[in-house]
Structure formats: structure tokens, C-alpha cells
Amino acid sequence: MAEAVKAAAARQLPAFKLGKKQVFLPNHVITMLRKEHLPPNEACFKVPLRFTKFDLRDYLWNLYGVEVTTVRSYVKQQPLTQRSTSSRSWYRPQPHKIMTVELAKPFQWPDAPADLEPWSNDLWRMREETIEQRNEEQLARQRMQIPLKSQQQTLPKERQQLGELAKKMLSGEVKWENNVVLDPRWDKILGREKAGKSTETTTTTTTTTTSS
């Protein structure tokens, strides 16, 4: 106890007047925010709503030994939020209180890590993209804009293969065959069809020739 008192006396007092009310077990969480536009002599914090400027000033001095010259604050309203995707209940979340302080000693934020492998960034981004895509699909379905299977950009592999095969068959590159040995009695019918087809084709060719 005596050591703590001595240390406190030895510590240089700040330029401002410290608060007198003692708080022994505070339960606040202060978040430091990175703001790119702020100069190095300023720092931004998210504080509980009940915090005042003096609270933050004394908190930073007592807990971190950071001297602060000025504090600016604002309360940021949060957007309306749905309680859950299934319910129709909406509510306004508690707003955030943001305070910007001017520091006696400037502070520079550390750089972001260059290698994001420890955070599995690739996997995470894939997951985020999938979630985003699903949400968009869901929204489109709610708007009754259901895309046709054939209009989908990414068809499954089997469908793609089938489509290619069908195109080849249409162009005559591949002849359709199901390797079934037919009864000889079919020969007669099939032969007639073949003959009819051949006559049809001949007629079409003749018509085209006559027209041209």
C-alpha cells in the first residue's frame, strides 16, 4: 500500500485536474478505434454510453498513464435491425459513443499484418462470398425473381457436359447411339422411316435448289 502511494506521488501529475470520486471496480470496456484520417496526436475510442469526457480523460490517465489535452465526443446512431431473419420484429440497437482525444504525446497505429495466413484469410473470404451469394439468392427469391436453371451462370458439371454433347449431336458431329440390339421386325419400320427421311431430305434439297 505504502509503495503504491509513493509511486503515485512520484508520478508526475497531469496538466488537468483529476477527478476526486474513487471508482474501485469499474466494469467498462474501452475500444481503441483506428481512424485513418486522424493525425498522430489524436486517438479515437468507443466508450460506454454513460461515459463522459472527464471519465475518459481520467480513465486514460489512471489506467494507461496517457495524458490527454482535449476530448471531443459524439453519439452514433445504429441502423434498424431485425431481431432474427424469420421474425418481423425490428428494433433500434443502442447507439455507440465515440470520443476523440488529443494526446500530449503522439501515437502511431501499428501496421496491419502482411501475412494473413494465421487468420486463414483465403478460406474466410471464400466463406464470406458464399454467404453473400446465398443472401442475394434469397432476396431474389423473395422478390419472385427465380432464375431459370438454364440461365444460371455456373451450371453443375454434368449439365455442362450434357449441353456440350447435345450441341455436338445437333451439329451432326456425334451420332446418337444407345447400343441396343433391336428385334429384326423393327428393320422394316426403321427402313421405311429411313427411306421417308431420305426422301424428305431430297425434297428439301430440291426445294432449296428451285428457290435459289
Does 65 contact another protein by CB under 8 A? yes
Of these, 10, 15, 80, 123, which contacts another protein (CB under 8 A)?
A: 123
Cα torsion 76, 80, 85, 89: sign = positive
Residue 18 beta carbon to another protein: minimum distance, rounded to whole angstroms? 15
Q: Is the C-alpha dihedral spanning 117, 34, 59, 75 positive or negative? A: negative
Integer-rounded Cα Rg, in Å, for the chain is 38
Backbone CA torsion sign across 83, 85, 87, 89: positive
- Give yes or no for residue 74 binding another protein (CB under 8 A): no
Q: How far apart are CA 38 and CA 207, in angstroms?
A: 81
- Name which of 93 and 106 has its Cβ closer to another protein: 106
Among 43, 56, 71, 99, binds another protein (CB under 8 A): 43
C-alpha cell at 149: 436453371
Among 9, 12, 22, 24, which residue interacts with another protein (rule: CB under 8 A)?
A: 24
- Asked if 100 and 72 count as a contact pair (C-beta separation under 8 A), the reply is yes
- Single out the segment in contact with another protein by CB under 8 A; choices: 57-65, 85-93, 154-162, 197-205: 57-65
Q: Does 105 bind another protein (CB under 8 A)?
A: yes
Which residues bind to another protein, rule: CB under 8 A?
1, 4, 24-34, 40, 43, 46, 60, 63-66, 103, 105-113, 116, 118-121, 123-125
